[in-house]
C-alpha cells in the first residue's frame, strides 16, 4: 500500500525524521512518502499556527486525494483532521487520535507529554473532540519547543523522562502518549526507562492505516465526512479529480 504522511509544518528536517520513524514500523511492501506543505508556519505552538497549518495541510492532501491508500496527519494536535476526511475516501489518520486509541488498548488511563505550555489548551480541545477525556489522566507540558527536540535528543529525552515519571507517579497514567511528532525517535528509549508503554503517534498511525487497508475499510461518506465533489472547486486551491 501507499501512505502519504503529511507534516503540517514546513520544517523539512522534521518531515525527514517523521518519515524515517514511519518507515521503521511499516510492513514490508508499504510505501511511505513524507511531505510538508510549501507554505505555513515552521512549527505549531499556537492556535493561529494550528489553523494556518491546517489549511496548508488540507491543500496538500487535496492535491493527492486520489493517489494514496491512506493519509497520516503528522502533528499531535491533529489539525484539520475531520476536514481532511471529507476530501478523500481513503482513511485519514491523525497521530494523536491513533496513539490515544492504541494507548487505551494496553492501559486504563494515559497521559500526554508535550512541548511548551501554550500547546496544552490545544491538546485539551483535541482530546475532548476525540472523546478521550475520560481516559486521559493528564496533559503535561515541558520546557521543550517543537524545533528544539531534534537539536538535542539526549536533552529532550531527559526532560521527557522527568515529566513522564510525574505523570505516572502523580497522575495515575499507565501509558504515555508523546505529544509532538518530533518526539517519535525517542519512544523506545523512554519506554525502556519508564517501564510503561510509550506511544509515538506516527508509528501508531501507520500501523492503523495498514490495518484498515488490509481489512478493506475506507472513510464513511454516510454522514459527517460526506462531501459533494462539485464543491471541491470552491475551496480556492487546486484539487486532484477522481
- The CATH number given to 2-95+203-223 is 3.40.50.12500
Domain range list for the chain? 2-95+203-223, 97-201
The CATH code that applies to domain 97-201 is 3.40.50.12500
Beta pairing partners, 5: 34, 72
- Identify the bridge partners of residue 114 per DSSP, sorted by sequence position: 179
Q: What are phi and psi of 26, to 5 degrees?
A: -70, 145
The residue ranges of the chain whose pLDDT is under 50 are 241-242
Write down the pLDDT at residue 242: 43
Separation between Cα atoms, residue 162 and residue 165, nearest integer Å? 5
What 8-state DSSP symbol labels residue 2?
A: E
The pLDDT value recorded for residue 239 is 73
Residue 227 to residue 224: CA distance in whole angstroms: 9
**pLDDT at residue number 235:** 87
What DSSP element (H or E) covers 170? Answer: helix 153-171
pLDDT the model gives residue 143: 95
- Fold agreement (2-95+203-223, 97-201): yes
Strand partners, 179: 114
What's the pTM?
Answer: 0.95
pLDDT at 238: 72
| The three three-digit cell numbers of residue 11, written as one number | 520544517
Amino acid at each position: 500500500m501507499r501512505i502519504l504522511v503529511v507534516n503540517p509544518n514546513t520544517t523539512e528536517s522534521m518531515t525527514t525524521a517523521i518519515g524515517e520513524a514511519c518507515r521503521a514500523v511499516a510492513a514490508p511492501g508499504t510505501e511511505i512518502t513524507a511531505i510538508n506543505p510549501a507554505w505555513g508556519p515552521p512549527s505549531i505552538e499556537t492556535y493561529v499556527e494550528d489553523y494556518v497549518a491546517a489549511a496548508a495541510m488540507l491543500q496538500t492532501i487535496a492535491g493527492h486525494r486520489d493517489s494514496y491508500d491512506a493519509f497520516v496527519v503528522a502533528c499531535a494536535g491533529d489539525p484539520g483532521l475531520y476536514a481532511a476526511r471529507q476530501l478523500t475516501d481513503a482513511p485519514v489518520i491523525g497521530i494523536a487520535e491513533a496513539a490515544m486509541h492504541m494507548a487505551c488498548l494496553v492501559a486504563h488511563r494515559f497521559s500526554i507529554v508535550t512541548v511548551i505550555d501554550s500547546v496544552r489548551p490545544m491538546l485539551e480541545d483535541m482530546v475532548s473532540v476525540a472523546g478521550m477525556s475520560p481516559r486521559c489522566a493528564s496533559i503535561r507540558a515541558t520546557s521543550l519547543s517543537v524545533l528544539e527536540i531534534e537539536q538535542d535528543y539526549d536533552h529532550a529525552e531527559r526532560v521527557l523522562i522527568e515529566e513522564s515519571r510525574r505523570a505516572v507517579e502523580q497522575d495515575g497514567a499507565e501509558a504515555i502518549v508523546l505529544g509532538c511528532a518530533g518526539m517519535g525517535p525517542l519512544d523506545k528509549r523512554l519506554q525502556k526507562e519508564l517501564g510503561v508503554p510509550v506511544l509515538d503517534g506516527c508509528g501508531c498511525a501507520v500501523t492503523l492505516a495498514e490495518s484498515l487497508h488490509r481489512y478493506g475499510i475506507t472513510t464513511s461518506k454516510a454522514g459527517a465526512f460526506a462531501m459533494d465533489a462539485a464543491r471541491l472547486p470552491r475551496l480556492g486551491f487546486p484539487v486532484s479529480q477522481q
